[in-house]
Chain A
Amino acid sequence: MAISCTDELELNDPGAIGDNIALANDANVKAVLLGGYNALSNGAFFGGNTLRNSELLAANGEIVWSGTFSDPSDIFNKEMAATSGDATNLWLSAYNAINIVNNVLSALDVVNAADQDQVEGEALFIRGIAHFELVRFFGLPYSTGNASTNLGVPIMLTPNSVELVSRNTVEEVYTQVIDDLEMAESLLADGPNNGKASKQAAAAILSRVYLQMGNYVEARDAANRVISSGIYDLMPTIASCFNTGSTSEDIFDIPVSTADGINNMQTFYASTANGGRGDVEIQAAHVALYDGTDDRLDLIITDPVTLELRSGKWLNAFGNVKIVRLAEMYLTRAECNQRLGTSVGDTPLNDINEIRSRSSLDDLGAVTLGDILLERRLELAHEGSRIHDVKRLQETITEGVDIYSYSDPLLVFPIPQREIDVNGNLIQNQGY
């Protein structure tokens, strides 16, 4: 009886499998890789919050957070606490993505030889973009010039490590991110975008990384590689870029459907009439930045319920979360060419007019760096790039009487209290 009963005590979860099975063969490793994308798509991460939080930190009187969730409210008010749920969830979901792909990288040898490069490239892409997002939020800006001493985040390259790790410097993290993304670009196949990494997606993110570092040559060249691939096209109108699945303009986005995925930009930006929470209101100060004939003003709409202004980019709860569009590549290439006095790919003037004409604006006859930066600000408004641009351009954020410099520690997330509590080797950021 004891023997038969011992068998009765050996039960396995019918809804899960062990790691011995998950990493055992080609199909399973690829399924785990999808798990890595799924981690990227977490609502706390590229499912939307990381975009929203960039905008809230850089509100600058142009948007107001009127929602009741206290974590985003604290971000908007620049009064985050170390216990901030947003800081915690970004940390956890980014390292979750990193760990999943570290598991994939540890099991590359069981992947079909023909697919190994692609699988490795996708894994490195995910690891790179996740570390990049972490260092942008948890470290002081690269543009402070002290990147080699400022603390970034721990670089995690081995799977399932419970080690009590220390923070790497900002410089070290950027170096790792570049290594991963360059390797990814070399391994990955060409696009187009299908919600997964491609050679161009890696190049596009790489151009962002270099731009953030002020390395305009590399940023320009990476952006140019994406544009010149010819795989992507600007959509005919700005409105057609949003509230949809992937378009020809999307280089990388997060798929959302009724079956899976979440679009938290819609959750917080859309009116209650669109099933959102209507927590972010656009202010007159932002509207004033646009030329009156700019089509992009059509994407600033009046909430039928509260009569506040809202972004029209995030109305569809089942629309994809756009992470990087071709328009950004034009803007990056134009800015870098302008700064470097070069015309790699095309002239800054042509690139800017390309973007302007799509939104029914007259072509400029000549272009300045200021024109390019304004164009970038308007084109990419409410898409999550603003605080990072403020930081690299060393601009300021003004909220009422409070002025925050680009390097203000309050514009940097606290290391989550949870992590400080669990891991004594982590040093908290200034101001928390």
Chain B
Amino acid sequence: MRKILPALFLFVFSLTAMAQERVVTGKVTSQEDGSPVPGVNIIVKGTATGTATDADGSYSIRISSDNAVLLFSFIGYNEQEVVVGSRSTIDVQLALDITQLSEVIVVGYGTQIKQDITGNVAKVDGKVIQNVPVTSFEQAIQGRAAGVLVTAQNGKLGQGINVQIRGANSISAGNEPLYVVDGMIINYGSLSNNGAPTNALADINMNDIESITFQKDAAAAALYGSRGSNGVVIITTKRGKSGKTNFTANFQMGSSKPTGIREFLNSDQYVELFREAAYNNDLADGFDPINNPADYPGSWLEYAEDEMDYMSGNGNPATNWRNASTRVNTDWNDVAFQDASMTSFDLTASGGSEKTSFYFGGGFADQDGILLGNQFRRISGRVNLDHKATDKLNFGVNFSLSKTINNRVSNDNAFSTPLQLVAQAPITPVRDPDGNLYDDSTNPSMFYYPATMEKENARFVTEVFRNIGSLSATYKIVEGLSIKGEYGFDLLTQNEDRYWNNLTQQGRDPLVNGYGQSNWTQVFNYTTRASVMWNKLIGEHAIDAVGVFEFQEASIDFTDAQGQGFPLKELTRLESAATPIISSSSLTESTFVSYIGKINYKFRDKYLFQVSGRVDGSSRFAPNNKYGFFPAASAGWILTEEGFLSDAGPLSFLKLRASYGFTGNAAIPDYIFLASYGGVAYGGNAGLTPTQIPNPDLSWEKTGQFDIGVEFAFLNDRLTGEFDYYNKQTEDLLFNVPVPGTVGYLDAFQWQNIGDSENKGFELVLDYAVVRTSDLTIRIGGNYANNKNKVLKLDGYQTEIHPTSSRYINSFIVGQPIGVFFAREYAGVDPANGDALYFVNDPDGDPNATTNSWNAANRIVVGNPTPTSIYGFHVDAKYKGFDLNILFQGVSGNQVYNAAGGFMSANMRYEDNQTVDQMRRWQQPGDITDVPQARLYGNNGANASTRFLEDGSYMRLKTVTFGYNFSPELASRLKLNSLRLYVSGQNLLTFTDYSGWDPEVNTDFLAGGNQFLANDFYAAPQPKNLMFGIKIGF
């Protein structure tokens, strides 16, 4: 035995030796979608042996020992080490490394490696927003980028979303960022004509998006000159890579529900409070119809009870409120919302040859809104092609076409909007016993026209065709010097088609007899651009320079036709209208001419500089001020490249950077500096009326922004982060200043460059890889931003500008944030008589003094409509085939004003149903409560005050996705590259003290400007979505 053992060893050893030199083959795929990854570097660790994957992701490498360790590395992916052992086939899945410093980032007029960037740019990878069930990408990036505040106006699909980067600057011009898709400025904002903004970005299929970058500081945004002040959002769509053609198909379906419900009185409570409100009036008038029946005829109580007869089915005994057995209890919240389902399907293909690569994406989405009658559908296709004609000449083509069909509902201010149904009395049945809908006129039992009628008898469809395309040609003159020509366009055609039959409020007047409307809007926006790019490496000096000339023209052509008198309900197009009512058309155009220069200089890979300048001229500005110049400079210093920090323990990367520059804001209507007279009609004759007070000096709004930041990484880049402080000073605000009405313009405002504002704040981004092994990765990260916004100067003689309507309380006040809530302070209820009380707030008087006269109380600053803090944090975990992604998002430091409080929470002022808290009303002397005595048609505490103001902070479980990826072996047995099943939820939990439907609100009919922020007015909450999906790659 002793002799045999060495022999055995020898034998085994020789076997091993025989196995030493052998070939290992395999395939490298992306863990994300199972697609092959070409060009992955593979080396045998500790040797010089290496290879790279081919176009199919396949490789073959010679190893000399089973102990050999293969190291797979590729930019953008985590490195992976694999011990070969006895295997001869080793397939590897690489995980994306989304925080790598060597990541390529799209910036204005170029791309840069993240660690070389001297400005503040936040990137959201397209992968994290894929298949999120929302209609436009801004909703999907909520909480993903520091300092980017996204607020959906309400829960209607395809409608307005407000995006603010580092706070609002402007009083009257736009505060939304500029959107650039594949280098072309596209149309964004609203083209709606019903008072509720729509969202032109909803036409973009976000599954085609490769990355979104937010250009936040001046170094990044000044490249966009007169339109950079609000930051720039650069969207890059996916492109093909040469190699085998890969297909992915994704199918998902799910359903939505409201995130929140506001509770209203049930019918017993309603009857009690309604009678009480009337009876209180009688007592106040010196009558007592309850204890003294002789007082009943002609009393308020009789009147109210008659009203309730009307409201409970117009006297129909089957539903009469007076009898407990026939009294109905309609929950109008339930009627306003519908069961909402959603389905979507996407197919992509990408690949190409050495010379030509392509990406194709097609998508179909069909989503119901949670509001009665709301539905959004989109079908879209995109082709991106790249072709190398010669070594020197490249062509690129991007082309997308989409059609969206949005079944819309009325704006939040209309009786016909679904959520205003909650104003109906719970004693009112939805339908009469014959099944016909009740309303306020044709089958009367209501005081307010109901959305139910609108749903069944009206049509409101907005159809948009959107074609965004671009062509480019790049020619390399010599190494390092190339020129590029580009042409891009965005063509948008929209029809808002509406029809109301003769049962609707709009169409039921016998003289009207059906009403139809068709609004056609066509927007054509094109850009032509010529660029020169030069880069040179001279020893330790790297220079990169770009020069650009750009011309952009946009026109909006609008035609409105309306008619009435439709012979039959079935004939719903304007051709059947007996009488044309309105036909009008308009055209507005704007042009921008720009010259842009940018130089980047890098010395020894650690000293970074960028200088840029842009000259913009625009038709939007007055003759005396057509052109503006917008320079910026920035510098960065990578300290970890310095000798003294080259071995800094756990610190693996440290960069300091600073920037300063100027941007402008040109987001104002066309022609506003001109004196103009517009057409009017009087008695059938055409007349002229002065419409605009001229200003021959009108110019840009100017923002100077300073930013200082630090980027760091610890523990071999396991912990990475970024911290920035910024100070934005905006002057010459574009301000539509109110002037005395005696000037004699109905719209007594004049556009002036006057006023100053500032935004100061900081942003923190952290990302930590808790575990990163090949089986298990756990990553947590988050971002936090704090912004202090302040108006520094208004028009010079006013220090406060208040809303013209008494229903709202947003003001502009020097020293306060834009749109600050400024109102009378509610002081509760006088225990002696049930009167609503307000604090007098006389600066010279008793601070606790109260009054029951709303007029006698002084207004004070009571809240901020814009969050001061916004944050998001996420956990991403992967274990073998499983993955889990969780995102929380939230805001704080803001208030929400329920402008409908004067109707729905007004201690039964009108017939409107009341929120359930109104049962706390004052009833008898000595009662201590915050709800005043009910007085029918009396205004007891219903005026605008802090009574209807609440904390608007919230935190949301924004997105949760849990998925399982089948192993490549199993997938390949099914002839697939990859197979993934997942469930995903959106807005699953909302943590807030707000008592309304949803604290994320900015009621749509007020959301057009910058003043009326964070108002709730029967605004629908965000949907809570839950869905299931399957994704295959082949």
Contact = CB atoms under 8 A, between A and B. Distances in A.
Contact of A421 (B510, B512, B798, B939): B798
B529 interface: no
A161 B742 contact: yes
B593 A5 contact: yes
A181 interface: no
Interface string A92-129: 11011011101100000000000000000000000000
A164 interface: yes
B363 interface: no
B293 interface: no
Contacts of A70: 806-807, 902, 939, 942
A92 B746 contact: yes
A8 B619 contact: yes
A134 to B, nearest CB: 10
Nearest to B298: A284
Nearest to A256: B683
Given A77-B939, A273-B441, A95 B742 contact: yes
A98 B744 contact: yes
A279 B689 CA distance: 32
Q: Contact residue range for chain B? A: 35 or more
A95 B745 CA distance: 7
Interface string A55-72: 000000000111010110
A160 interface: yes
Contact of A159 (B617, B688, B744): B744
Contacts of A159: 744
Interface string A286-327: 000000000000000000011100000000111000000000
A372 interface: no
B278 to A, nearest CB: 13
B682 A18 contact: no
B804 A88 contact: yes
A35 B937 contact: no
B674 interface: yes
Nearest to B591: A8
A101 to B, nearest CB: 9
B938 interface: yes
A12 B687 contact: no
Given A96-B746, A99-B743, A275 B509 contact: yes
Interface string A188-216: 00000011100000000000000000000
A240 interface: no
Nearest to A307: B310
B284 interface: yes
A366 interface: no
B619 A11 contact: yes
B956 interface: no
Contacts of B549: 1
Contacts of B974: none
Interface in B726-746: 738-746
Interface stretch (A78-86, A228-236, A340-348, A377-385): A78-86
Residue of B509, B674, B939 most packed against chain A (CB within 10 A): B509
B738 A422 contact: yes
B690 A305 contact: no
B47 interface: no
Nearest to A161: B743
Contacts of B807: 70
B674 A22 contact: no
Interface in B13-51: none
A17 B676 contact: yes
B857 to A, nearest CB: 11
A165 B742 contact: yes
A261 interface: yes
Interface in B554-581: 564, 579, 581
Nearest to A42: B746
B670 interface: yes
B682 A13 contact: no
Nearest to A91: B741
Contact of A162 (B671, B680, B739): B739
Contacts of A195: 682-683
Contacts of A407: none
A77 B854 CA distance: 14
Nearest to B912: A68
B5 interface: no
Given A9-B593, A32-B687, A258-B579, A275 B511 contact: yes
Contact of B511 (A88, A156, A317): A317
Given A35-B680, A432-B855, A99 B617 contact: no
B677 A73 contact: no
A343 B374 CA distance: 70
Interface in B581-636: 581, 586-591, 593, 617-619, 626
Residue of B551, B581, B738, B740 most packed against chain A (CB within 10 A): B740
A156 to B, nearest CB: 5
Interface string B497-540: 00000000100111110000000000000000000000000000
Residue of A28, A71, A74, A258 most packed against chain B (CB within 10 A): A258
B617 A5 contact: yes
Nearest to A274: B509
Interface in B638-687: 670-671, 674-687
B169 to A, nearest CB: 23
A378 B945 CA distance: 41
Given A1-B549, A38-B689, A102 B579 contact: no
Nearest to B744: A99
A309 B588 CA distance: 49
Interface string B423-449: 000000000000000001100100111
A255 B310 contact: no
Given A99-B745, A260-B682, A9 B690 contact: no
B444 A306 contact: yes
B671 A11 contact: yes
A199 to B, nearest CB: 19
A160 B740 CA distance: 11
Interface in A1-55: 1, 5-6, 8-22, 28, 31-35, 37-39, 41-42
A5 B750 CA distance: 28
A41 B684 CA distance: 13
Contacts of B677: 16-19, 21-22, 32, 35
A154 interface: yes
B441 A12 contact: no
Contacts of A305: 440-441, 444
A375 interface: no
Contacts of A306: 310, 444
B801 interface: yes
B681 A400 contact: no
A22 B939 contact: no
Nearest to A158: B744
Contacts of A33: 687
A141 interface: no
Contacts of B681: 38, 259-260
A35 B688 contact: yes
> Which 7 A-B pairs give the minimum distances between C-beta atoms?
A99-B744, A275-B509, A34-B687, A35-B689, A16-B676, A83-B806, A255-B683
29 contacts: A1-B549, A9-B593, A9-B626, A13-B671, A14-B586, A14-B587, A15-B679, A31-B687, A35-B689, A37-B683, A68-B912, A73-B937, A81-B854, A85-B804, A92-B741, A99-B744, A99-B745, A156-B744, A162-B743, A260-B681, A273-B441, A275-B508, A275-B510, A275-B512, A305-B440, A306-B444, A317-B512, A422-B739, A431-B855
Given A272-B449, A416-B741, 17 more contacts: A1-B549, A6-B617, A10-B619, A13-B671, A16-B674, A34-B687, A38-B689, A74-B939, A83-B803, A100-B689, A103-B690, A261-B682, A271-B441, A284-B298, A317-B511, A418-B804, A423-B740
Interface of B: 284-286, 298, 310, 440-441, 444, 447-449, 505, 508-512, 549, 551, 553, 564, 579, 581, 586-591, 593, 617-619, 626, 670-671, 674-694, 738-746, 748, 750, 797-798, 800-807, 854-855, 902-903, 910, 912, 937-939, 942-943
